[in-house]
A and B are shown apart, each in its own frame.
Chain A
Amino acid sequence: MVDLFRYQKWDLVSKRGIYYVISGLMLLVGLFFLFTNGLNLGIDFKGGGLVTYVMANNQHIAPDKINNAMADIRKALDDKKIQNEVQISPGLDNKGDQIIVRTLLGEGNDTQRTEQLNAEIGQIITPTVNKAVQEYAPGSTVPKLDSQDVVSGTIKDELVNKGVFAMVLGSILIVLWIWVRYNIGGLGLSYSAAGIIALFHDLGTLVGMFALLHAIVRDPNMFQVNSPFIAALLTVLGYSIHDTIVIFDRIRENIRLRKGRTFAETVNISLLETMARSVNTVLTVLFTLLALLFFGGPTLRDFVAAMLIGVTVGGYSSIFIASQLLVTWAKGKDREILPLGELAPANAAAVAAPRPVVVTATGGGSLIDNPVVVSPTTPASRDAIQRAKQAGKTSKRKR
């Protein structure tokens, strides 16, 4: 299979203004929804109770009655002065319907509220749900309590603090790591800065996307932000930096090896050379994430969604933000941006000879023993390889 990217004549660098605009827009839209609608905070960060009941296999509430059932349960709980959110999801495959009730922490003495929340579940919420199920799906068995979580104000505060601290600490450590790796390597500020900006771009876009998706899909059980979201965020940060480092490494190498090209060209070549690897890496992680999304249970869905968005954005930012920023900030004669293939006039004299194109038609043996020396970026070399291959093949037949 041929490398789809390495020999393309794509210019990924000169139109970078477009990428900045696209990213900027996505960030703005995301941040807009973040500050107006807000994130769908789960009980880890808001406290309160979350109870899920599941009906027995193959038992359902008639689809047109679901809203009525939800309203009934809501009203019954409101009457008992319990702030609540109720959601009924139809069951997939042969699973019964799922009833999710969320109660809010509310005001008052934290210890008492938490005790109340715990007591409410068995004393009020379960009977109410059972009654509604009997009413709207008569003859069905009592729904089973699948899961029950109660988080007090004390723990909620702790989780929020720990979550924020984890994000901040993680970001600082990664920024330090980028700084150490590139600044001390003597390459200058621009690499570290580009990596850091890409990092914040990823952070902002992921959070913004979740706010956006929550605003669009009003289901309170989707795109919830809990502790796993923080875990996804940090993992994505690590992954995105990993991506960026690989590309930057290649840029560094190419600067050394390919003298006489403008910086922009070098970056472009590096991007094309690493594109196959970038795409493949994102693909393999996407395969596993998509498998988890479609076949994994509902518990992890928000986490996997965050990882999916994050990994995609992370891959995008390494190529289309971080590397582009390097070009934008390039100084001096590197600022001149020329179309691919041409050398800057000032550099023409200082050009090191590109590696020679030597095609050897060998009398026997395989390409491995009598290699062809090519310069990989010119289309001529592709033909050279083909011809050498043919020669190798025919020579084998001769034997």
Chain B
Amino acid sequence: MRSSLSLWLFGIIVLTILGFLTVFRPISFTPRKDPSDASRYLQPVGTGKDFDAERPPTSGTFAALGQSIYVYPPQHDLRLGLDLRGGMRVVLEIPDRAVFDYQLSKDKTPANSVDENTMQNALTVLLADPKALGPDAQDSSKVQVRVNGGTVEVVTQPKNTEEAKFQLTKISAAMTKLVGQNNYTAPAADSVMNTNTLANQRADIQKSVLSIMEQRLNSTGTTEVSAYAEGTNRVVLEIPGVKDPERALGMIKSLAQMQFRILPDDISSSTDPVTGKETFSRFGKAMTDAEVIRDSKLVLTGDSLNPTSGATYDEAHHPAVQFSIKPDKQSYFGAMTQANKNKRMAIVLDNKVLMAPVIQSSISSSGIINSPSGNFTMQQVTDWATLLNAGALPVPVHIVETRMVSATLGADSISKSLLAGIIGFALVLIFMAAYYRLPGLMANLALVVYVILSLAVLKLFDATLTLPGIAGIVISIGMAVDANVIIFERLKEELLTQKPLGTAIDVAFQRAWTAILDSNVASLITGSVLYALGTGAIRGFAVTLIIGVAVSLFTAVTVTRLFMKLMIRTKAAHKLAWYGL
């Protein structure tokens, strides 16, 4: 019996030390990257690299023993949620899209030799009216029309198949008017928004949106942006350390559709010398961006650019965007710019005209986009370059939820809840020692082991610690003690009957075990329900609650019992007064 007790004690001590090491990780076998050195490791925008793992950190190493063991001051290694780190959480909903693909017949007859540009404009105008999209559609801003070669592609986001079919009839009617009934093939009504293709489409679009968002946000220099898919049509972005929520949201919302369009001669532009804003007018009448776009001719879209755009400075040392054109479009664009020299080329991003400079010479492989009055900021051009490189979104996304907590509020929450936790813990320790005396002390020791083991389990499961999670740990401390309270009350009763101390302890633990187990099942039930149905922060609470219950079943019973059995081997422990009687 003796040796098995010592073995148990040894086991508990080893477990506790391992738990401490897991949570605080003071020892590591590779030099640790120190986040505070991040600025030294970040590479310039556009190269896609951040930490340089080859350069060892110069700070943070406490001592290097030999060549292969690094010792750091103990610092917890738990993954913190955004409400503790500070940052922004954005949930995007991806609407379903319907793609209407019309093929124009190959024979050119007078009826169907309508100019592509005219066709594009006619369809755009038609679909700009919400009534064309559906009987109760309200938003028409996200329709995309593309006419290229012999195909017409219209992309909309109908609410359901009825609306999609409605749109199909409207678009087909417009096509008939434009090129004549027999000169095009319409897509089959069922294929436009088929539930089967929809399911596949959703997955693909979700993946595409995910990767685009990751690229957009990672390039802004923030570390550890995490993007993950949720359900079939949602993407969740977690951006720690956001300093400017507006900018981040702008990067997320943007469709990043870039177009180069050639303006007809009768549109003139003037630049306000004060604001630097360019405005367009025709015959003295001011024009909106939408009108300018409608009347101009599309020559190149963003997907014809290499994903290597970057921020740079123009000759006047103002920030500008540098772009380069893909090889297969270079000759076309070169010819276009050559033929349209001295005309204005409007550069449009997300249906807003950025600027419309005069084409000075032919551009075939690369160029820069700069503001005529030099009033683009470095941040703006960097963001535009990033958006271009990441690519245009296949569908416009809806932002359905944003939560942002500043880093100071996060740090504040951590320190305050830590303080509360320590005070609560201390109060419980004092109470247990005062009321239950010797067993209480044993329970307190077990409680310390409990806290360390709980945190270690949290770390092992790579669970995220949130603010409600910390509250969960603190509350679990109060609840973990309950098992001990049950046992010790039972112990008192057993001592009042005919049992010697050792047996009394055994019987008390035994009899109390069923009550403890059953009552903790209820907490496990509610914890599981909360985990299944809760969102981020609440899930953190559920996780700590469940882990707390599970670990407390171990420490409150096994560990306390071990300590008590060890204690009673000493004579001093046999005074009844020590047991609260």
Query: Are A and B a genuine interacting pair, yes or no?
Result: yes
Q: Which residues of B contact A277 (CB under 8 A)?
A: 485-486, 489
Cβ B420 vs Cβ A295 within 8 A: yes
Stretch at the interface among A202-210, A227-235, A333-341: A227-235
Residue of B nearest to A108 (CB): B138
Q: How far is the CB of B154 from chain A (nearest CB, A)?
A: 20
The answer to the question of B309 belonging to the interface, with a C-beta cut-off of 8 Å to chain A, is: no
Q: How far is the CA of A147 from the CA of B519 in the complex (A)?
A: 39
Q: How far is the CA of A114 from the CA of B533 in the complex (A)?
A: 24
Q: Which residues of B contact A217 (CB under 8 A)?
A: none
Cβ B420 vs Cβ A292 within 8 A: yes
Q: What is the predominant secondary structure among interface residues of chain A facing chain B?
A: helix
Cβ B526 vs Cβ A238 within 8 A: yes
Cβ A246 vs Cβ B515 within 8 A: yes
Question: Total number of A-B contacts with CB less than 8 angstroms?
Answer: 246
Q: Which residues of A contact B435 (CB under 8 A)?
A: 1, 280
Q: How far is the CA of A152 from the CA of B537 in the complex (A)?
A: 18
Residue of B nearest to A159 (CB): B535
Given contacts A122-B245, A249-B515, A371-B499, contact A281 B482 (CB under 8 A): yes
Q: Which residues of A contact B581 (CB under 8 A)?
A: 2, 385
Within 8 A of A (CB), among B385-441: 398-406, 408-409, 412-413, 416-417, 419-421, 423-425, 427-428, 431-432, 434-435, 437
Q: How far is the CB of B45 from chain A (nearest CB, A)?
A: 23
Given contacts A166-B533, A177-B521, A371-B497, contact A235 B424 (CB under 8 A): no
The answer to the question of A181 belonging to the interface, with a C-beta cut-off of 8 Å to chain B, is: yes
Partner of A147 from the list B404, B499, B527 (CB cut-off 8 Å) is B404
Q: Which residues of A contact B520 (CB under 8 A)?
A: 242
Residue of A nearest to B404 (CB): A148
Q: How far is the CB of A180 from chain B (nearest CB, A)?
A: 10
The answer to the question of A284 belonging to the interface, with a C-beta cut-off of 8 Å to chain B, is: yes
Q: Which residues of B contact A276 (CB under 8 A)?
A: 489
Q: How far is the CA of A169 from the CA of B416 in the complex (A)?
A: 34
Given contacts A238-B526, A373-B498, contact A292 B471 (CB under 8 A): yes
Given contacts A169-B529, A235-B526, A292-B471, contact A366 B406 (CB under 8 A): no
Cβ A1 vs Cβ B519 within 8 A: no
Cβ B249 vs Cβ A118 within 8 A: yes
Given contacts A114-B400, A245-B519, contact A174 B408 (CB under 8 A): no
Partner of B529 from the list A2, A54, A170, A368 (CB cut-off 8 Å) is A170
Q: Which residues of A contact B115 (CB under 8 A)?
A: none
The answer to the question of A135 belonging to the interface, with a C-beta cut-off of 8 Å to chain B, is: no
Q: Which residues of B contact A154 (CB under 8 A)?
A: 93, 400
Cβ B486 vs Cβ A246 within 8 A: yes
Q: How far is the CA of A78 from the CA of B409 in the complex (A)?
A: 29
Given contacts A242-B523, A368-B501, contact A297 B403 (CB under 8 A): no
The answer to the question of B184 belonging to the interface, with a C-beta cut-off of 8 Å to chain A, is: no
Cβ A295 vs Cβ B423 within 8 A: yes
Q: Which residues of B contact A227 (CB under 8 A)?
A: 534-535, 537-538
The answer to the question of B478 belonging to the interface, with a C-beta cut-off of 8 Å to chain A, is: yes
The answer to the question of A299 belonging to the interface, with a C-beta cut-off of 8 Å to chain B, is: yes
Q: How far is the CA of A67 from the CA of B234 in the complex (A)?
A: 42
Given contacts A122-B245, A166-B533, A246-B486, contact A307 B475 (CB under 8 A): yes
Q: How far is the CA of A230 from the CA of B468 in the complex (A)?
A: 12
Residue of A nearest to B435 (CB): A1
Chain B CB within 10 A, most for which of A1, A228, A288, A367: A288
Partner of A292 from the list B399, B409, B474, B521 (CB cut-off 8 Å) is B474
Which size bracket describes the interface of A in this complex?
A: 35 or more
Q: How far is the CA of A76 from the CA of B388 in the complex (A)?
A: 38
The answer to the question of B576 belonging to the interface, with a C-beta cut-off of 8 Å to chain A, is: yes
Q: How far is the CB of A148 from chain B (nearest CB, A)?
A: 4
Cβ B574 vs Cβ A147 within 8 A: no
Q: Which residues of B contact A231 (CB under 8 A)?
A: 468, 530, 534, 538, 541-542
Q: How far is the CA of A101 from the CA of B406 in the complex (A)?
A: 16
Q: How far is the CB of A179 from chain B (nearest CB, A)?
A: 13
Cβ B400 vs Cβ A291 within 8 A: no
The answer to the question of A19 belonging to the interface, with a C-beta cut-off of 8 Å to chain B, is: no
The answer to the question of B258 belonging to the interface, with a C-beta cut-off of 8 Å to chain A, is: no
Residue of B nearest to A372 (CB): B496
Q: Which residues of A contact B238 (CB under 8 A)?
A: none
The answer to the question of A112 belonging to the interface, with a C-beta cut-off of 8 Å to chain B, is: yes
Partner of B467 from the list A151, A152, A300, A373 (CB cut-off 8 Å) is A300
Q: Which residues of A contact B541 (CB under 8 A)?
A: 228, 231
Residue of A nearest to B401 (CB): A155
The answer to the question of A283 belonging to the interface, with a C-beta cut-off of 8 Å to chain B, is: yes
Given contacts A114-B399, A371-B499, contact A303 B427 (CB under 8 A): no
| B-contact 0/1 string along A271-292, CB 8 Å cutoff | 0011011001101111111111
Q: How far is the CB of A145 from chain B (nearest CB, A)?
A: 6
Residue of A nearest to B576 (CB): A367
Q: How far is the CA of A289 from the CA of B402 in the complex (A)?
A: 30
Q: How far is the CA of A245 from the CA of B495 in the complex (A)?
A: 24
Cβ A234 vs Cβ B530 within 8 A: yes
Cβ A173 vs Cβ B485 within 8 A: no
Partner of B419 from the list A151, A173, A235, A295 (CB cut-off 8 Å) is A295
The answer to the question of A144 belonging to the interface, with a C-beta cut-off of 8 Å to chain B, is: yes
Given contacts A155-B401, A373-B498, contact A283 B431 (CB under 8 A): yes
| A-contact 0/1 string along B471-510, CB 8 Å cutoff | 1001101110110011001001101111111000000000
Cβ A149 vs Cβ B402 within 8 A: yes
Q: Which residues of A contact B405 (CB under 8 A)?
A: 146-147
Given contacts A1-B435, A152-B400, A368-B576, contact A174 B420 (CB under 8 A): no
| A-contact 0/1 string along B541-581, CB 8 Å cutoff | 11001000000000000000000000000000011100011
Partner of A376 from the list B417, B437, B496 (CB cut-off 8 Å) is B496
Residue of A nearest to B402 (CB): A150
Given contacts A112-B139, A368-B500, contact A299 B413 (CB under 8 A): yes
The answer to the question of B328 belonging to the interface, with a C-beta cut-off of 8 Å to chain A, is: no
Given contacts A284-B485, A289-B475, contact A166 B537 (CB under 8 A): no
Q: How far is the CA of A186 from the CA of B522 in the complex (A)?
A: 20
Q: How far is the CA of A165 from the CA of B478 in the complex (A)?
A: 28
Residue of A nearest to B137 (CB): A109
Q: How far is the CA of A21 from the CA of B488 in the complex (A)?
A: 35
The answer to the question of A106 belonging to the interface, with a C-beta cut-off of 8 Å to chain B, is: no
Q: How far is the CA of A389 from the CA of B91 in the complex (A)?
A: 69
Cβ B416 vs Cβ A296 within 8 A: yes
Cβ A241 vs Cβ B519 within 8 A: yes
Given contacts A227-B534, A299-B413, contact A174 B468 (CB under 8 A): no
Chain B CB within 10 A, most for which of A118, A228, A234, A373: A234
Cβ B467 vs Cβ A284 within 8 A: no
Given contacts A155-B401, A368-B500, contact A122 B412 (CB under 8 A): no
Q: Which residues of A contact B535 (CB under 8 A)?
A: 159, 227
Q: How far is the CA of A369 from the CA of B489 in the complex (A)?
A: 21
Q: How far is the CB of B373 from chain A (nearest CB, A)?
A: 23
Given contacts A245-B518, A245-B522, A368-B576, contact A146 B406 (CB under 8 A): yes
Q: How far is the CA of A109 from the CA of B159 in the complex (A)?
A: 13
Within 8 A of B (CB), among A170-210: 170, 173-174, 177, 181
The answer to the question of B83 belonging to the interface, with a C-beta cut-off of 8 Å to chain A, is: yes
Q: Which residues of A contact B545 (CB under 8 A)?
A: 235
The answer to the question of B525 belonging to the interface, with a C-beta cut-off of 8 Å to chain A, is: yes
Q: Which residues of B contact A173 (CB under 8 A)?
A: 525, 529
The answer to the question of B190 belonging to the interface, with a C-beta cut-off of 8 Å to chain A, is: no
Cβ B522 vs Cβ A238 within 8 A: yes
The answer to the question of A132 belonging to the interface, with a C-beta cut-off of 8 Å to chain B, is: no
Q: How far is the CA of A353 from the CA of B537 in the complex (A)?
A: 58
Write 9 A-B pairs (CB below 8 A) sorted by A numbering. Answer: A1-B437, A145-B245, A147-B403, A170-B529, A177-B521, A231-B468, A284-B485, A292-B420, A372-B496
Known: A228-B541, A366-B575. 13 other contacts (CB 8 A): A118-B402, A152-B401, A173-B525, A174-B526, A228-B468, A235-B523, A245-B518, A274-B489, A284-B428, A297-B467, A371-B499, A371-B500, A374-B497
The 8 A-B pairs of least Cβ separation, nearest first, read A291-B424, A242-B519, A288-B424, A285-B478, A238-B526, A295-B420, A288-B478, A287-B427
